[in-house]
C-alpha cells in the first residue's frame, strides 16, 4: 500500500515531462492531470483582457525545437527536456554560424553540467538553454536552428477547487503552474496542494477552502482582478512552493506580519519541534506578493522548504525528480494539515462564570481526567481558557500566552463548553 508521500511523488513524476509556461497547452495538460485527483473549475481568460495594471498576453505553444550541428546531429533537443528552450521563444528556422548562435544561448558556467531555466515572457526573442559542457564541445561550422512555436491570441488558463466549509469565509491555497520540468519549483507545491484538498474533503472544515492553480504573477493577478467583489470573504491564505526538497521548512509571513495564519504557522512549527525558519515579508518571491499587495493586503503567507533561490539547483535541470522526496512532501502536507486544524478551531469564548474560579471538581472536569500523565497540563489549560475567555482572546492567544499546545487548549475549551462554563 502506497503512502501519501509516495502518491504525491508519483503525481510529480506524471507532471514533470510537460512543458508549462504562463499560458498554453502545457498548463491545460497539467490541470487535466490534477483534475483526475480533485474536481476543478477551469477558467480561460482571453488575450488582451485587462487585469488590474496588466494585460493577458498572447498564448504560447511549442511543438519542437532543436539545434543541429554541422553533421546534422541534434546537440540541443527540446524533446529531451522542455528546459532547453527559452520560455516564450518566437518561432525561428535558420542556419547560422556558431558565433552568431552564441548570442542566443544560455548556460551556467559555475555548474557546467546543468541546464538553466530562462524565460522571456514580455519581450519577443528566442533562445536555447544548454549545459556549459555541451557548449564547450561544439565545433565551429554552420548550425541548423529551429523552434516550432506559436505566439498568438488565445487564453490564460487557471483552475480552482473548492472544499465547502461550515461558513462562507474562505482560506485560499495557491500554487503556481507555469514552470516546466522543475520538480521542486513548483510541481511539489501542486502535489501537496492537491493532496491537501483531498484530505480536507474527507471532513467538514469550518472555513471554505479555495485552491487556486494559476500561472505565477499574471495568473494570481488575473484571479484577483476577477474576484474583487468577493475578496472580503478571504480571511486567510497560504502560498505553497518549493514543497518537496529535503531542507528545513520555511514560513514567510504575510505583509501584515501578525495575520492569524502567521501566528498559526509559527505556533505549529514551534510546537512540532521541526527544524524551521520564520521569515519576514518581502515584496519579492511567489504570489504572496500579489495577495499581499497594499490594495488587497490579505492575510496570506508562504510555506516552502528551502525558499526560492535558496538552493543551487533552483531554476536549473538539477531541480529534478531526484531532488524531491516523498518524505519531504509528506512532511509539508502534515504541517499544512496541522496548521489548518488550528485555524479551523481557533475561536473566541466568553466565560459564563467569570466571578472567581468556578468549581471544576463538582462538574467532573477533574475526575474525568482519569489519572492521565498530562492531567496537570490539561488542568492548567482549563484555567487559562477560563481566565482569557473574555470575548477578546482566542484559543490561539491562550496557547501562545500559556505556552501550552493548541490541541490541549482546544480540548480543554471543548470540555468547558460541554459543561456550560463558556460559550463561543
| pLDDT tens figures, 79-112 | 999 999 999 999 999 999 999 999 999 999 999 9
pLDDT confidence bin for 8, thresholds 50/70/90: very high
DSSP conformation letters of 24-80: SHHHHHHHHHHTTTS--EEEEEETT-EETTEE---EEEEEEEEEE-TTS-EEEETTT
pLDDT single digits (tens) 239-272: 999 999 999 999 999 999 999 999 999 999 999 9
> Distances in Å between the alpha carbon of 424 and those of 345, 382, 394, 413, 420?
11, 15, 10, 10, 11
Mean pLDDT along residues 182-192: 97
Q: Do the domains 4-57+155-342 and 348-423 sit in the same CATH topology, yes or no?
A: no
CATH number of 59-152: 3.50.30.90
Residue recorded with cell 489549560 = 381
CATH topology of domain 348-423: Arc Repressor Mutant, subunit A (1.10.10)
State the alpha helices, DSSP H only, in 168-228.
189-201, 218-225
CB 241 within 8 A of CB 189: yes
The interaxial angle of helices 25-34 and 189-201, nearest 10 deg, is 30
Mean pLDDT along residues 356-360: 90
Q: What number of residues does the chain have?
A: 424
Mean pLDDT along residues 28-44: 98
- Whole-angstrom distance, CA of residue 392 vs CA of residue 87: 51
- 3 state DSSP class of 124: coil
Task: Tell me which residue of 93, 68, 195, 207 sits closest to 146, measured CA to CA.
Answer: 93
Is residue 211 classed exposed, middle or buried when 0-12, 13-18 and 19+ CB atoms within 10 A define those classes? buried
Task: Tell me which residue of 269, 280, 279 sits closest to 334, measured CA to CA.
Answer: 269
Residue recorded with cell 488565445 = 154
The residues, ordered by sequence, that sit 6+ positions from 215 with a Cβ below 8 Å of its Cβ are: 21, 22, 23, 27, 156, 157, 158, 176, 177, 178
Strands 50-51 and 54-55: antiparallel
pLDDT confidence bin for 375, thresholds 50/70/90: low
Give me the chain's average pLDDT, please: 96
- Give, for 350, the enclosing helix (H) or strand (E): strand 348-351
> What does DSSP assign to residue 230?
G
Phi, psi of 145 (to 5 degrees): -120, 125
Residue recorded with cell 505566439 = 151
CA dihedral 228, 231, 232, 238 (to 10 degrees): -160
Cell numbers at residue 194, please? 492537491
The predicted model scores a pTM of: 0.95
The interaxial angle of helices 406-418 and 375-388, nearest 10 deg, is 70
- Give, for 396, the enclosing helix (H) or strand (E): helix 395-402
- Whole-angstrom distance, CA of residue 369 vs CA of residue 290: 48
Above 50 in pLDDT, residue 370? no
Q: Give the chain's end-to-end CA distance (angstroms, integer).
A: 42
The residues, ordered by sequence, that sit 6+ positions from 37 with a Cβ below 8 Å of its Cβ are: 11, 194, 195, 198
Is the bond leading into 306 cis (omega within 30 degrees of zero)? no
Is residue 183 classed exposed, middle or buried when 0-12, 13-18 and 19+ CB atoms within 10 A define those classes? buried
pLDDT single digits (tens) 312-345: 999 999 999 999 999 999 999 999 999 999 999 9
Residue recorded with cell 479551523 = 344
359: left (phi over 0), alpha (psi -120 to 50) or beta: beta
Above 90 in pLDDT, residue 414? yes
The residues, ordered by sequence, that sit 6+ positions from 32 with a Cβ below 8 Å of its Cβ are: none
Q: Which CATH entry fits the domain spanning 4-57+155-342: 3.40.630.10, 3.30.420.40, 3.90.180.10, 3.40.50.20?
A: 3.40.630.10
Q: Which long-range contacts (CB under 8 A, 24 or more apart) does 77-80 make?
A: 78/19
* Largest separation between any pair of C-alpha atoms in the chain: 94
**Domain limits, the chain:** 4-57+155-342, 59-152, 348-423
Positive or negative, the CA dihedral 125, 127, 129, 133 is negative
pLDDT confidence bin for 374, thresholds 50/70/90: low
Cell numbers at residue 379, please? 488542568
Mean pLDDT along residues 354-373: 74
- Whole-angstrom distance, CA of residue 353 vs CA of residue 87: 65
Amino acid at each position: 500500500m502506497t503512502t501519501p508521500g509516495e502518491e504525491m511523488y508519483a503525481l510529480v513524476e506524471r507532471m514533470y515531462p510537460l512543458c508549462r509556461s504562463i499560458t498554453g497547452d502545457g498548463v491545460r495538460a497539467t490541470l487535466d492531470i490534477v483534475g483526475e485527483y480533485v474536481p476543478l473549475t477551469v477558467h480561460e481568460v482571453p488575450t488582451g483582457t485587462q487585469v488590474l495594471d496588466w494585460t493577458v498576453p498572447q498564448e504560447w505553444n511549442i511543438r519542437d525545437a532543436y539545434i543541429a550541428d554541422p553533421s546534422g546531429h541534434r546537440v540541443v533537443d527540446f524533446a529531451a527536456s522542455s528546459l532547453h528552450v527559452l520560455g516564450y521563444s518566437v518561432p525561428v528556422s535558420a542556419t547560422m554560424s556558431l558565433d552568431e548562435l552564441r548570442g542566443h544561448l544560455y548556460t551556467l558556467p559555475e555548474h557546467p553540467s546543468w541546464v538553466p531555466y530562462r524565460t522571456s515572457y514580455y519581450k519577443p526573442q528566442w533562445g536555447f538553454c544548454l549545459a556549459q559542457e555541451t557548449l564547450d564541445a561544439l565545433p565551429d561550422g554552420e548550425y541548423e536552428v529551429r523552434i516550432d512555436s506559436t505566439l498568438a491570441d488565445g487564453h490564460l488558463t487557471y483552475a480552482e477547487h473548492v472544499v465547502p466549509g461550515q461558513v462562507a469565509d474562505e482560506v485560499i491555497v495557491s500554487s503556481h503552474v507555469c514552470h516546466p520540468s522543475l520538480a521542486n519549483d513548483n510541481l511539489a507545491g501542486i502535489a501537496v496542494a492537491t493532496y491537501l484538498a483531498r484530505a480536507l474533503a474527507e471532513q467538514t472544515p469550518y472555513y471554505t477552502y479555495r485552491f487556486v492553480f494559476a500561472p505565477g504573477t499574471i495568473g494570481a493577478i488575473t484571479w484577483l482582478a476577477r474576484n474583487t467583489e468577493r475578496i472580503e470573504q478571504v480571511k486567510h491564505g497560504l502560498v505553497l512552493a518549493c514543497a518537496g526538497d529535503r531542507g528545513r521548512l520555511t514560513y514567510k509571513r504575510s505583509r501584515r506580519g501578525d495575520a492569524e495564519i502567521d501566528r498559526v504557522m509559527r505556533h505549529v512549527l514551534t510546537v512540532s519541534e521541526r527544524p524551521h525558519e520564520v521569515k519576514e515579508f518581502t515584496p519579492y518571491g511567489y504570489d504572496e506578493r500579489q495577495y499581499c499587495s497594499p490594495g488587497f493586503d490579505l492575510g496570506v503567507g508562504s510555506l516552502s522548504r528551502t525558499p526560492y533561490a535558496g538552493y543551487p539547483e533552483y531554476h536549473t535541470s538539477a531541480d529534478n525528480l531526484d531532488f524531491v522526496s516523498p518524505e519531504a512532501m509528506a512532511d509539508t502536507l502534515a504541517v499544512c494539515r496541522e496548521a489548518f486544524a488550528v485555524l479551523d478551531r481557533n475561536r473566541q469564548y466568553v466565560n459564563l462564570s467569570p466571578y472567581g474560579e468556578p468549581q471544576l471538581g463538582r462538574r467532573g472536569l477533574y475526575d474525568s481526567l482519569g489519572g492521565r500523565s498530562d492531567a496537570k497540563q490539561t488542568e492548567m489549560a482549563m484555567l487559562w481558557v477560563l481566565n482569557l475567555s473574555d470575548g477578546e482572546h482566542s484559543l490561539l492567544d491562550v496557547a501562545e500566552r500559556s505556552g501550552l499546545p493548541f490541541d490541549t487548549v482546544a480540548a480543554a475549551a471543548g470540555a468547558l463548553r460541554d459543561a456550560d462554563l463558556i460559550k463561543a
